[in-house]
């Protein structure tokens, strides 16, 4: 990869259904449908900024700074302090280390039923079905016709300003990877 060129890579060409931003400074996890994040990027309302990896002087990414709640259907999840303490995120860790911890957190949330997955619902109005315990159904294909694909981002400084974050989530649209971090 050319060390100076930024490549078209980010939310606009990933194949995910749901995005999760793990924000250790704000101690929040933000979840939203990828399509809603992409709509926020395309709206033209948010500033585009460069991002940097430690040890590199040139930008390693560009993306849009979007306040979490200016992304439609974005939800904020507060995790217990003990969860954050056990993961022990550190700002000086590598991109790989932070990303691995973020993925571990999200996997744990899924296993424990703590990750909201937005879906279309169907309200049941038939009394006979309601009596059988069927008030609301998530029809097959309501989320996606295939597996639910989740993109996890460690957005270290991101999150609400009132929680110590930058006030934004970083929605990347370009990158270069001089340190070969994945």
Q: Dump pLDDT digits (tens) for 118-145.
A: 776 778 888 888 888 888 877 766 655 5
pLDDT at 5: 85
Q: Are 158 and 21 in contact (CB under 8 A)?
A: yes
Report d(CA 168, CA 170) in Å as an integer.
6
Instruction: Say yes or no to pLDDT of 179 above 60.
Output: no
pLDDT at 1: 43
Residue 43: partners with Cβ closer than 8 Å, 6 or more residues away: none
The mean per-residue pLDDT over the stretch 153-165 comes to: 97
pLDDT band at 40 (very low <50, low <70, confident <90, very high): very high
- Looking at every residue in the chain, the average pLDDT score rounds to 89
Is the pTM above the cut of 0.85? yes
Report d(CA 159, CA 149) in Å as an integer.
23
User: Cα separations (Å) of 43 from 5, 80, 82, 97, 110?
Assistant: 25, 34, 38, 33, 31
């Amino acid at each position: 990869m050319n060390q100076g060129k930024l490549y078209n890579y980010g939310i606009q060409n990933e194949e995910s259904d749901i995005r999760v931003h793990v924000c250790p400074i704000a101690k929040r996890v933000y979840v939203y449908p990828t399509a809603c994040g992409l709509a926020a990027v395309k709206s033209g309302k948010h500033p585009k900024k460069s991002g940097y990896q430690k040890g590199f002087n040139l930008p390693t990414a560009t993306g849009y700074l979007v306040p979490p709640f200016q992304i439609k259907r974005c939800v904020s999840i507060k995790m217990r302090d003990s969860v954050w303490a056990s993961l022990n995120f550190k700002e000086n860790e590598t991109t790989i280390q932070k990303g691995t911890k973020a993925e571990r957190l999200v996997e744990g949330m899924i296993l424990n039923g703590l990750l909201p997955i937005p879906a279309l619902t169907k309200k049941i109005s038939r009394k006979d079905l309601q009596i059988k315990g069927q008030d609301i159904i998530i029809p097959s294909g309501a989320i996606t016709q295939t597996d639910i694909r989740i993109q996890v981002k460690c957005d270290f400084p991101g999150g609400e300003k009132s929680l110590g974050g930058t006030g934004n989530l970083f929605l990347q649209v370009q990158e270069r990877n001089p340190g070969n971090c994945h």
